[in-house]
Amino acid sequence: MPHHITNSSFGSLPSHVKIANNNGIKVNTAATNEISSMAGALLVVGDLTTVIGAKINRGAVLDDELKDMIQTIQQKFVTTYMDFSMNELKSNIQQGYLVLDPSTNTMVRTVTVDGLTRTTTEQIMTNLNAYVQKVKELPGNVDISDNELEMIKQDDAYLISTYALRTIGVVNRGLLCYIENGMLNDTIVSLQEERQTSSQMQSSMVFDITATATIDLRYLAYIRTHGPPVEGVFDPVKLAEFI
């Protein structure tokens, strides 16, 4: 059964904005709710998504370009993240994912932008940014520059694209945590191996220890005046002079 998503899933928006997009997009993926609450920033259109109409508040159109981009985010980032296919997600983000080029019918991994070869993650982000800019400049919208809140009121397509961008960031952070966790696990394993090896050795071990030592200045003053303590024990009468 499809869920009806309102803008309340987008995060902390003003109450009047919440009502504005009641007739926006209906999504029936179960993961959407979780992702929305987790990322606080996403409207996902997945495989099972049914887009009922393309009517966006105040004249903006949810065009094919945006639809494609959101679909890609869903497929390449959110689904892999939710399924915990972290290696796939890692590959998608770090090396770029394969895109089927309909013109040549071949799978490509990188895209050339402005003469530079970029990963597709960067590509989709660039595209989304360009889209945001485009929506901003639509004649139906009033350009109020950097006032994002006012812009949200003006156009829901802008809102969707902005949160789609943020989703990539959130997923990226999740991946980083995963990678770091993996690295820590590797360290633990290597230390355990090292320990096993060293305990098997009969010879004495040598460690490099980094430590911060603090000493009371009064002990230093004692050593300066009376020299180092005999047998390591400070003369109480002489030491008391410094207190």
Partner 1 sequence: MPSKALLIGVNYLMNNEDTLKSPINNIEILRDFLICYSKFDKKNVTLLSDLGDYKKATFMNITSELKKLVNNSNKNDFIFLYFSGYGDFLGIPEKDSDKYIKESMKLKSLYKVENEEHLFLPEDYNMSVLTKKYFLTILNNCNSRIFLFFDCFNKKNNNYLKYSYDINNKTFRTHLDKNQYVWSNNMIILSASNMDKKHFNNFNRVNIINNKTSKFYSIFLLDLIKYLFNYLQININFNTFSYEDLYTVLITISEDINKLDFYSIVKDNKENEKMNKSCCCKEKKLKIIMFFTDDKIIDLNFLENQTDEQNNKNNIDEEIKIKIKYRDKTLAYKNINLERDLKIIKRRYEHLLNKYTTFYKKLYETNSISNFKLLL
| Number of residues binding to partner 1, judged by CB under 8 A | 13
Near partner 1 by CB under 8 A: residue from 114, 137, 208, 231: 231
Q: Rounded to the nearest 10 degrees, what angle do helices 120-136 and 64-72 cross at?
A: 150
Q: Interface with partner 1 includes 18 (CB under 8 A)?
A: no
Stretch that binds partner 1, among 29-37, 79-87, 182-190, 213-221 (CB under 8 A): 213-221
Stretch that binds partner 1, among 66-74, 115-123, 193-201, 234-242 (CB under 8 A): 234-242
Nearer to partner 1, 197 or 214 (CB): 214
User: What's the 3-state SS for the chain?
Assistant: CCEECCHHHHCCCCHHHHHHCCCCCEECCHHHHHHHHHHCCCCCCCCCCECCCCECHHHCECCHHHHHHHHHHHHHHHHHHHCCCHHHHHHHHHCCCCEEECCCCEEECEEEECCEEEEHHHHHHHHHHHHHHHHHCCCCCCCCCCCHHHHHHHCHHHHHHHHHHHHHHHHHHHHHHHHHHHHHHHHHHHHHHHHHHHHHCCCCCCCCCCCCCCCCHHHHHHHHHHCCCHHHCCCHHHHHCCC
First to last CA, the chain: 80
Q: Which residue has the tokens 């009922």?
A: 52
Nearer to partner 1, 67 or 218 (CB): 218
Stretch that binds partner 1, among 115-123, 156-164, 177-185, 228-236 (CB under 8 A): 228-236
Nearer to partner 1, 102 or 232 (CB): 232
Q: Interface with partner 1 includes 226 (CB under 8 A)?
A: no
Nearer to partner 1, 205 or 237 (CB): 237
Nearest of 14, 30, 117 to residue 78 by alpha carbon: 30
Q: Which of residues 172-201 bind partner 1 (CB under 8 A)?
A: none
Q: Which of residues 67-96 bind partner 1 (CB under 8 A)?
A: none
Q: How far is the CB of 214 from partner 1 (least distance, A)?
A: 13
Q: Interface with partner 1 includes 221 (CB under 8 A)?
A: no
Q: Interface with partner 1 includes 232 (CB under 8 A)?
A: yes
Stretch that binds partner 1, among 14-22, 108-116, 183-191, 227-235 (CB under 8 A): 227-235
Q: Interface with partner 1 includes 234 (CB under 8 A)?
A: yes
What residues does 101 pair with on adjacent strands? Answer: 106
- Two structure tokens written together for 141: 């919208």
Q: Interface with partner 1 includes 115 (CB under 8 A)?
A: no
Stretch that binds partner 1, among 49-57, 113-121, 171-179, 216-224 (CB under 8 A): 216-224
Contacts to partner 1 by CB under 8 A: 216, 218-219, 231-237, 239-240, 243
